[in-house]
Amino acid sequence: MLFRCKNCGGNIVYNPDKKAMCCPHCDSLDSEEKIEDSQAIVPSSRICASCGAPIELKEHTSATKCPSCGTYMVVDERVQGQFTPHLIIPFKISKDKAKELLHKEFDKRPFTPMGFLSNASIDKMEGTYVPFFMYDYKSDMNYRAVGTKVRTWSDSRYEYTETSYYDIIREMNANFNKVPVDASIEMDDKLMDLLEPYNYHELEEHQDKYLSGFMAEKYNMGEKSLTPRAEAKVKRDSHAMISETVSGYATVTQAQESIVPTKLAVDYALLPVWEYVFNYLGKDYKFQVNGQTGKVLGETPVSKPRVVGYGVTVFGMITILGFLIRMAMLVL
Amino acid sequence: MQRYFKYFKIPFIITAVIALVCIIVRVATGSPEQNAAATNTESLISNNVFNYSGALTDSQVFELEALIAAVENKTQCDIAVITLNESLEGRYSSPANKWVMEYADDFADQNKMGYDKAYGNSIVFVDNLYREPSTGKVYSWISTSCLAMSQLSQSECESIMDDALENLTDYSDSDDYFAAYKRVVSLIPRYMSIESGARIAAENMKPVYILASALFISLIYVLINWKSKLGSVTTTSTTYVQNGRPNITRKQDIFLRKSVTKRKIETSSGGGSGGHMSSGGHSHGGGGHSR
């Protein structure tokens, strides 16, 4: 499907700044009409409803852009039925804002190569809705340990050390709401974890129109196969919560910890991510911007000639200053 | 290139300003002022080095004399360097480590040493290479009087000798007495604060140190900027927890037992010392060294 402007016939996209469907051609707001695909459904390709060019579809792509005319389209059967997302956070950061955030984060790094974040390369950046499963869990925690507290004092002749031993007992439970785990093979798990947290107050019921103007994927694997990752997150956080209640001890030994997570519910959600890819010396460097909070991630490439040039400059400046200061001090 | 100059703009400006200040200081500071010449006409000695032990060669004595002449002018003190190789046992009633002190004090008094007047500003350094059989040690002393006494404390005299004589072991050919005595003489104005701290620091700041620290700092700079951090974790243990905290159903810290150990405290005591009077009745300060 695609969204067409009732006023001018142009392709309407979701505008994060205006929080509305907006026609980039005639600036009409909310003038969209949904155009369903008319041709017979072929799994791996589509004909662009706007220009008629063929569009290749990757296995999990649920929204994409026509490479010929730039029209954004949604792959109907990948957002329907079992693939209907329950929830979505629409893009809140526009492309311009994402560019600005990337510049703000990385411009101060001196060793990035020429062309990094250049307009030519950054304009190709696309926003992607990444599929996530969100797990609700109840976690029961049980903890026992022996802790010691040490007190020292002294009189004129002796120094005394008193060691007190305590039985530490903690029993607690916690309800975890919507622990997110990405269901995309292409997206790096570690990066997706670092992009957290999203602000769940802005979670909405899914609407297809939010996908217009962006890339999207359906979930690549089922929620059951991702349960271990969700459980690991719950266990990690549970362990940390227990640790936070144990304080003031010099040593803690013989710790016995039991964490029992129980899965309560799962939601399928799409979360917004801007991804900028920069190729340097044959290697792709990926940078992510959280499409809602604006958090920026990524490891910048290092240009060796620049390292040498800048390093030598710093060395030269300090050497010159050192000798000049020495020269001046010798006559004082 | 544009990015390079933009990046280094402020460091370049700072470097240029500091460089300018240094050059102005260098140009504006004239030659050091001339100090007053010696005015003591009663002194019984005309040279400064008394090489009784023969540890120095004639040419070394000559060179040391020249160094002392310059230092005397700078410090306004009459300076004598005496090398002995004889036992002083039985000559003085004081303990073994003070024999060299008595010797030095007497030397200054008997020769009416002083830069300004007789019994005036003087510094006498005695190094007795003879290993006193009663203690098995080699003793040295720096005796000071008047201006030198007020400007060189006992601990400063000891520091001079600790520094200069540290490589000397025994009366053997491998010991470089000449280098050690030169060091003693050249350290005197430093410890008397005649030379400014800035100048001493500059002399210690050898070119190789400047290059090494520049290399070190630029390496640190490169290392800091090399590895760009991927991003930091911005979730906490309770980010996804309802109400932002767990329900704690039981939280107990039950006291089991305690044990006490005790350790004896070591104590120490210290002491001090001041100036003294020579047999000739003149006040002397200074400090000793043994090896």
Helix, strand, coil shares of chain B as percentages rounded to 5?
40, 20, 40
B199 has a pLDDT exceeding 90: no
- Can you give the pLDDT at residue B169? 67
CA angle centred on A95, ends A92 and A98, rounded to 5°:
80
Instruction: Considering only the beta carbons, identify the residue of B199, B221, B258 that sits closest to A311.
Output: B221
Other Cβ atoms within 10 Å of A291 Cβ, number: 28
CATH 3.10.310.50 fits B49-196+286-290, yes or no: yes
Beta strands in chain B (DSSP E): 49-51, 78-84, 122-128, 139-145, 247-264, 276-277, 283-290
Q: How many helices (H) and strands (E) does chain A have?
A: 5, 16
Q: What is the mean pLDDT of residues B161-168?
A: 84
For residues A256 and A319, state if they share a domain.
no
- Can you give the pLDDT at residue A168? 96
Q: How far is A192 from chain B (nearest CA, A)?
A: 11
Classified as helix, coil or strand, A4 is strand
Q: How far is B63 from chain A (nearest CA, A)?
A: 24
Q: How far is A67 from chain B (nearest CA, A)?
A: 31
Look up residue B164 and give its two tokens. Answer: 């200069």
Domain ranges of chain B: 49-196+286-290
Look up residue A191 and give its two tokens. Answer: 């990066």
A215 has a pLDDT exceeding 80: yes
Which residues of chain B are within 8 Å of residue A146 when distances are taken between CB atoms? 256
Which residues of chain A are within 8 Å of residue B241 when distances are taken between CB atoms? 174-177, 237, 241
B62 touches chain A (CB under 8 A): no
How do residues A251-283 score in pLDDT, each as one tens digit? 999 889 999 999 999 999 999 999 999 999 999
Which residues are bridge partners to B142 per DSSP?
Answer: B125, B287
For residues A186 and A287, state if they share a domain.
yes
B241 to A171: CB separation less than 8 angstroms, yes or no? no
B29 to A331: CB separation less than 8 angstroms, yes or no? yes
For residues A147 and A178, state if they share a domain.
yes
Other Cβ atoms within 10 Å of A175 Cβ, number: 15
For residues A331 and A188, state if they share a domain.
no
Q: Chain B, 245-284: which have a CB under 8 Å from a chain A CB?
A: 245-265
In contact, A72 and A212? CB cutoff 8 Å:
yes
- How far is residue B73 CA from its own chain's centroid? 21
A176 touches chain B (CB under 8 A): yes
How do residues B67-118 score in pLDDT, each as one tens digit? 999 888 888 889 999 999 998 888 888 888 889 999 999 999 999 998 888 8
B256 has a pLDDT exceeding 90: yes
Q: What is the mean pLDDT of residues A198-220?
A: 95
For residues A133 and A222, state if they share a domain.
yes
Long-range contact list for B16-19, CB < 8 A, 24+ apart?
B18/A321, B18/A324, B18/A325, B19/A320, B19/A321, B19/A324
Which residues of chain B are within 8 Å of residue A295 when distances are taken between CB atoms? 231, 234
In angstroms, how far is the first alpha carbon of chain B from the final one? Answer: 63
Q: What CA–CA distances, in Å, run from B82 to A268, B53, B119?
A: 96, 9, 18
Instruction: Considering only the beta carbons, identify the residue of B215, B246, B254 that sits closest to A315.
Output: B215
How do residues A292-316 score in pLDDT, each as one tens digit? 999 999 999 999 999 999 999 999 9
For residues A331 and A217, state if they share a domain.
no
How do residues B53-65 score in pLDDT, each as one tens digit? 888 999 999 999 9
Q: How far is the C-alpha of B31 from the C-alpha of A221, rounded, in Å? A: 84
B6 touches chain A (CB under 8 A): no
- How far is residue A122 CA from its own chain's centroid? 18
Q: What are phi and psi of A73, to 5 degrees?
A: -135, 155
Q: Is residue A184 part of a domain?
A: yes
Which residues of chain B are within 8 Å of residue A175 when distances are taken between CB atoms? 241-242
- Can you give the pLDDT at residue B273? 44
Range of the domain at A259: 129-301
For residues A308 and A297, state if they share a domain.
no
- Can you give the pLDDT at residue A246? 94
Q: Is residue A317 part of a domain?
A: yes
Identity of the residue numbered B129: L
For residues A327 and A233, state if they share a domain.
no
Question: What is the number of structural domains in chain A?
Answer: 2
A285 has a pLDDT exceeding 70: yes
For residues A231 and A207, state if they share a domain.
yes
For residues A320 and A273, state if they share a domain.
no
How do residues A155-165 score in pLDDT, each as one tens digit? 888 999 999 99
Q: Is residue A197 part of a domain?
A: yes
For residues A189 and A178, state if they share a domain.
yes
Q: How far is B78 from chain A (nearest CA, A)?
A: 26
Q: What is the mean pLDDT of residues B262-282?
A: 67
Q: How far is B5 from chain A (nearest CA, A)?
A: 11
Residue matched to tokens 């109400």? B243
In contact, B113 and B78? CB cutoff 8 Å:
yes
A325 to B18: CB separation less than 8 angstroms, yes or no? yes
Q: Chain B, 145-204: which have a CB under 8 Å from a chain A CB?
A: 196, 198-199, 201-203
* Claim: this prediction has a pTM higher than 0.90: no
A39 has a pLDDT exceeding 80: no
Q: Is residue A27 part of a domain?
A: no
Q: How far is the C-alpha of B241 from the C-alpha of A178, rounded, in Å? A: 9
Look up residue B258 and give its two tokens. Answer: 């305690």
For residues A266 and A246, state if they share a domain.
yes
Q: How far is A280 from chain B (nearest CA, A)?
A: 15
B271 has a pLDDT exceeding 50: no
Mutate to test the interface with A, among B224, B225, B234, B263 (most CBs of A within 10 A): B225
A174 touches chain B (CB under 8 A): yes
Interchain CB contacts (distance < 8 Å): A and B: 219
Which residues of chain B are within 8 Å of residue A324 when distances are taken between CB atoms? 18-19, 22-23
